[in-house]
Amino acid sequence: MKKNYLKIAFIINLILLFGCSVEKLPTPPTQDIEAFPSEAGTNYTFNVSFGLQNQITGIKKSRVLPKANIKLNSDIVSIYQPQLDSITYQGNTLIDTTYFRKTSSGVFYFIDTTGFSQLVPDSLKSFLAIDTESRILFFPLSLNQTWPVYQVDIKIGGIPVFSPIRAFAKVVDFYKMDFVVRNSKITSNVYKIEYNLNIQLSPEGQIERQTAIAHFATGIGFIKWEGQTNVVNLVKGTTFNYPSEFIVEELSSYFIP
């Protein structure tokens, strides 16, 4: 099991860690979605724990930065919003910057795939289709709703014949919860979302399945994550080298301008 985890983590890291450019820009946002706060200065603090036994505990902080032109290699990408994340545990600090965008239909996190593509022989590149974003949310959210999150396809004649990496989501529960925003009490709809990641290294190979559960409160953001770190990294576009295969994040405080 440990060997399989390392193999999967290696593949995910190849996709997330290498390279700094975008070959094709996605469609610009069409509408601001207040369900997912994105104003500069929005910040969150989470209590985090790693592992199922002998847990390592720490603090995670996330802060939305002002919109700006983001230079990735030779391309200028101005449609993404930067988000600075830091995790502190046992004297260690992990820092990462991610980039997201919102449209009337959802929220997307940028996935830099340049380095992964460079590892693929030129003779095979025409057969490979790699998503450049993960779709973390699909609006409007509703119970039992499903959507594709991220996928890598092998195509023949332009038709997908095999997907070595496939992530998808489903809203599995729904409840209401009270919050305070700008000194006013609001009742938010909270959606429990299950994110699944399937890894299959060959068409005849065994499928490795990993899962993470998130709780998303409309108008607030994500208030809890629990599950396998490969899934969390891929869905959120982060590149954290977590100290364990399993993580729990629980919101402790927040500020929304």
pLDDT at 4 over 80: no
> If you average pLDDT over residues 188-201, what whole number do you get?
94
> If you average pLDDT over residues 89-113, what whole number do you get?
92
Highest mean pLDDT among 19-23, 25-29, 121-125, 221-225: 221-225
35, two tokens: 């369900």
> If you average pLDDT over residues 138-156, what whole number do you get?
92
User: What is the predicted pLDDT for the residue at 107?
Assistant: 96
User: What is the predicted pLDDT for the residue at 21?
Assistant: 37
Mean pLDDT across the chain: 83
pLDDT at 19 over 90: no
User: What is the predicted pLDDT for the residue at 25?
Assistant: 37
Between 129 and 3, whose confidence is greater?
129
pLDDT at 22 over 50: no
pLDDT (tens digit per residue) in 29-64 = 333 348 999 999 999 999 999 998 889 999 999 999
Domain ranges for the chain: 2-255
pLDDT at 130 over 90: no
User: What is the predicted pLDDT for the residue at 29?
Assistant: 38
94, two tokens: 């992990």
DSSP string of 81-105?
A: EEEEEEEEETTEEEEEEEEEEEETT
User: What is the predicted pLDDT for the residue at 13?
Assistant: 53
pLDDT (tens digit per residue) in 216-251 = 999 999 999 999 999 999 999 998 999 999 999 999
pLDDT bin (cut points 50, 70, 90) of residue 76 is low
User: What is the predicted pLDDT for the residue at 45?
Assistant: 97
User: What is the predicted pLDDT for the residue at 150?
Assistant: 95
User: What is the predicted pLDDT for the residue at 70?
Assistant: 67
User: What is the predicted pLDDT for the residue at 125?
Assistant: 62
Percentage of residues in the chain having pLDDT higher than 90: 57
Tell which CATH architecture fits domain 2-255.
Answer: Beta Barrel (2.40)
User: What is the predicted pLDDT for the residue at 26?
Assistant: 41
